[in-house]
Amino acid sequence: MHFESVNPATGERFAEYAHASPPEIEAQLQRAHEAHLEWRNVSVEARTDPLRTLARLLREQKELHGDLMTREMGKPITQAIAEVEKCALVCEYYADIASSALAPIPVETDASTSYWTYRPLGVVLGIMPWNFPYWQVIRFAAPALTAGNAVLLKHAPNVPGCALSIERLLCEAGYPEGLFVQLLLDVENTGELIADARIQAVSLTGSVRAGRAVASRAGAAIKKCVLELGGSDPSIVLADADLDAAAASCATGRFINSGQSCVAAKRFVVVDAVREAFEEKLLQAMDDWPLGDPLDPSTGVGPMARSDLRDALHGQVERSVEAGARLVVGGVVPERPGGWYPPTVLADVSPGMPAYSEELFGPVACIVPVADEAEAIRVANDTAFGLGASVYTTDVERGEVIAVDLIDAGNCFVNGIVKSDPRLPFGGTKESGYGRELSPLGLLEFTNVKTVWVK
């Protein structure tokens, strides 16, 4: 059995990699466990040295890694290089804050000395997706390693080259041998790993279905897990919004990474007073997101990562149109090899349509008309997901009230697209998962908060 690297722009298979065998899995897991036993006693300050080196290497080699991303999963090259640069940024962030964030917290009690401290858990299994094949790994691994853990990576099967490349990068950055290990695993072997006593926690970014399976396995083994799952993020456009800015922002939020992002803007919930004007301006803003060769720096939208994902998306579009949605633009599968799908807009989307209730993981924008602000908030929350949401209004104070008090999501932005930032916690509610990545909270997720009392 093997994994294949397939260029989604052409359908060309350009590399094959063998699955890890059971003896290889056992050997690598044991290596990670032994590496952790030494690494956990290394000072926090010393653990940050490889992070700074990793950041430098990422910047120096950004074109190389960006090109690999583009060839394996179709990300437009400019966005791929930007992803590598963002990985360098998160490394530098954790190198800067680790010592203070992981410092013991003294408390006055009846003891001579009492405090809590943060100790690493052990080997953390990371199950990562293909859509941001470097960022998702580095944003999880950088804090997990810095907190003193070891990392075992199970990457998505369509980006094996990225998984191997990341492993080489961390080795070159100076991390001890075996501390970060990638394994080309199938689903069955991954599930069995969670039960192994040497695995202490799991971080998954993926589908709701995968999240349920991992949470069940981890729960049975009484192990912590962090889940960042799907999303059907609403962008509320109120009557007083700056429509030019809102349309440009919504287009960016929907079409970046060819629409393949859990936290992408997917449902544009627009009040009737500005719906027609917003639709027109959205179509104009789409001119900045041309479909084209992902290796061309001017391309905005490339192919989807796999043809089967494109076909599933097209089926959702067709069923939505059959249920009454209006196809404004796009919605036709190009006659060419690869996972191509044009930027598409569906209007008059309403309950009962896949475009309303399901996650559309690709370059399809859905306009949901509502009468007023109250209905907009109700529709925004009318979803099983709760990853992100945006509100567009010139009344910034009202927008903040809506974001803080009225929208049920883990990330709420006013007058901007939802995006991850190393300095801010990132995660969801409801079927979008639980736990937080990034910020100091992401550094502490995989630690044992240990109370110490001395008299």
Active site residue 262: yes
Q: How far apart are CA 314 and CA 229, in angstroms?
A: 22
State the DSSP code for 147. Answer: T
Tokens representing residue 406 in the block: 């009225």
Q: Which residue among 72, 228, 373, 437 is the active-site one?
A: 228
Q: Please answer whether residues 81 and 87 qualify as being in contact, where contact means their C-beta atoms are separated by less than 8 angstroms.
A: no
β-strand partners of 203: 126, 226
Q: How far apart are CA 308 and CA 291, in angstroms?
A: 19
Q: Please answer whether residues 77 and 295 qualify as being in contact, where contact means their C-beta atoms are separated by less than 8 angstroms.
A: yes
Q: Which residue among 162, 262, 366, 412 is the active-site one?
A: 262
Active site residue 228: yes
Side by side, the strands of the sheet bearing 180-182 are: 180-182, 150-154, 123-127, 199-205, 224-228, 433-434
Q: How far apart are CA 183 and CA 106, in angstroms?
A: 40
- Scanning 115-157, the segments in alpha helix (DSSP H) are 135-146
Residue type, 232: S
Give the helix/strand (H/E) hosting 268. strand 265-271
Which residues are known catalytic residues? 228, 262
